[in-house]
Every structure is written in structure tokens, then in C-alpha cells.
Amino acid sequence: MQNLIQSVLNKDPSAAVLAQQIGSKANPELIKLAQHGDPDVRFIALGCLNETGGEGASQAFARALLDIDASVRNAGLQGLMNHPDPAVYNNLLNAYDKSDDENVKKMIPMVAANLGETVKIEDIKNRCRNEKDPEVIEGCLVALAKLGDLEAQKEFGKRLISSSGQERRKYLEYCEYISAPWLLNMLAPLLSDKEEMVFIGLDDQPQFPNYLRACDMVVELVASITGKEFSFPVGGPVNYTDQQLNEVREFLRQR
């Protein structure tokens, strides 16, 4: 345990490996370190709690949302995304109300939407209604769509279909976050989009493509959302053939 504490105090990113090995019994010490006077120590401590999870971790992440340091706030958000905990729902609402960090205000509704039945959709709507910042509005839209708001789902679909380039990549990543069957009809037309989206660049492994395309991302989303096993393996750095894309297209058509 002392090695872990010292690694955190030394601001050593490899402390996360030690934390993973020790597990949640390290949490009491890590929670103390997450309130250290040095923001770099707080950041490393939160990264360790992200590895351990368990008792007290989510409360530490929630406290971090109002930290004076942006990297610490972001570490808190990451921890909450990875460790959803209904017990901090009111903490999230409080942080949203008090924060002036646009990224925090964008992400809190998305964190909250992972909490299932704990969330009162009006809590999110009431807070988002008067927002002016486009990024915050976007986070609210994605969260409300995930929570089942039909108006938000319709607007999300419009934005997804009209998007291109890295904007489309972002919305496809939102689809992974939402992961719901209502997305499938929206995703079907994007099987024709072969625009390069995600750079892979595995120079030492020439069998892999340099980029994942939009259509490749869609195939993986369809498989993930539906649990469908296609005649070909899905996943990893691969460009799917036209025949494989047609198989997915036909599956969606017949649903």
C-alpha cells in the first residue's frame, strides 16, 4: 500500500497499475489523495480510483466535478462514466447547477443518463432548457435521447443523417453510448458511407487498413445493438467488403 501512496504522491501514472493490483481496499487512501493540495496528485489518485472502483470512488469522482483544475474535473467525469452509481445522482445535479465548465455541463447529463430509473427526465430537461452553449445543448440532446425522449431522438436522427466527416464520427460514437434499437433505422443508410473516419496506422501490421470508415463503424454498432452474429467476424481494425455490408443491410431491411 505504501508503494501505491508514494507513487501517487510522485505523480507517477503507473500508480494505476498498482491500484488495479491492490483493488478497492486501497480506496480509503486514494480518496484522501484525491483531495490533496496538488492537482496533479488529485488527478493521479482519481485515475487509480477509476481502476479500483468500489466503495467511496463515485463520491470522489462527483466531488472532482467542481475542482478548480480542469484535468481533475475531467478525471472525475471519466470515473463516473466508467462507474455509474445512482447514489451520486443528486451530486451530479448539484455540480451541474454550480459549474461554469462547459465540458462538465455537457457531460453531466450523459453521466446521469447511465443511471437508468434513478433519473427523472424532467431534472435534465429543466436544466437544459435555457442553455445557450452548443456543446452543452448537444450533451443534453444525447442524454435525453438515451433516456427515451422522442423529440430528442428525432433531433438526434436528423443530426446523425445530415452529418459528415468528423462530425459524423462523433455522432456514431454517441450511438455507441446510446446503444438502443431505435437507432437501427437511422444507421442503415450510413452503410453506404465509405468516408475514412478513424486513423489506425499500424505500420508494422500491413494486413490492417489505415482507416476505419463510417460504414465499418456502423457494422460494429449494428452487431453490438442487436447481438446478431453475421457470417463474418465483427470487430477489430477491418474494412468490411461490399458483400458483408450488403449482408448487414439486408438484415436491417428484414427486421
Q: What is the secondary structure of 136-200 as a DSSP string?
A: HHHHHHHHHHHTT-HHHHHHHHHHHHH--HHHHHHHHHHHHHH--GGGHHHHGGGGG---EEEE-
Average pLDDT of the segment spanning 75-81? 98
| Average pLDDT value for the chain | 96
**Residue 61: which pLDDT band, with cuts at 50, 70 and 90?**
very high
Q: Give yes or no for residue 206 having a pLDDT over 80.
A: no
pLDDT value of position 203: 64
pLDDT value of position 142: 99
Rounded Cα distance between 6 and 48, Å, is 13
Residue 22's Cβ-side half-sphere holds a number of Cα atoms within 13 Å equal to: 20
pLDDT value of position 208: 79
**Residue 202: which pLDDT band, with cuts at 50, 70 and 90?**
low
For 8-29, the pLDDT digits (tens) are 999 999 999 999 999 999 999 9
Task: Judge if pTM exceeds 0.85.
Answer: yes
* Close Cβ partners of 6 (under 8 Å, ≥ 6 residues apart): none
Q: Give yes or no for residue 53 having a pLDDT over 70.
A: yes
Average pLDDT of the segment spanning 231-245? 95
Q: Where do the domains of the chain lie?
A: 1-83
pLDDT value of position 132: 95
Domain covering 1-83: architecture? Alpha Horseshoe (1.25)
Q: Give yes or no for residue 92 having a pLDDT over 80.
A: yes
**Residue 204: which pLDDT band, with cuts at 50, 70 and 90?**
low
**Residue 200: which pLDDT band, with cuts at 50, 70 and 90?**
confident
Average pLDDT of the segment spanning 43-55? 97
Q: For residue 40, what is its C-alpha cell?
A: 496533479
Rounded Cα distance between 184 and 35, Å, is 44
Nearest CA to 23 out of 45, 59, 51, 58 is that of 51
Q: For residue 29, what is its C-alpha cell?
A: 487512501
For 113-132, the pLDDT digits (tens) are 999 899 999 999 999 998 99
For 135-190, the pLDDT digits (tens) are 999 999 999 999 999 999 999 999 999 999 999 999 999 999 999 999 999 999 99
Average pLDDT of the segment spanning 60-79? 98
Q: For residue 220, what is its C-alpha cell?
A: 460494429
Percent of the chain with pLDDT over 90: 93
Element containing residue 211 per DSSP (H, E): strand 211-213
pLDDT value of position 3: 92
pLDDT value of position 201: 75
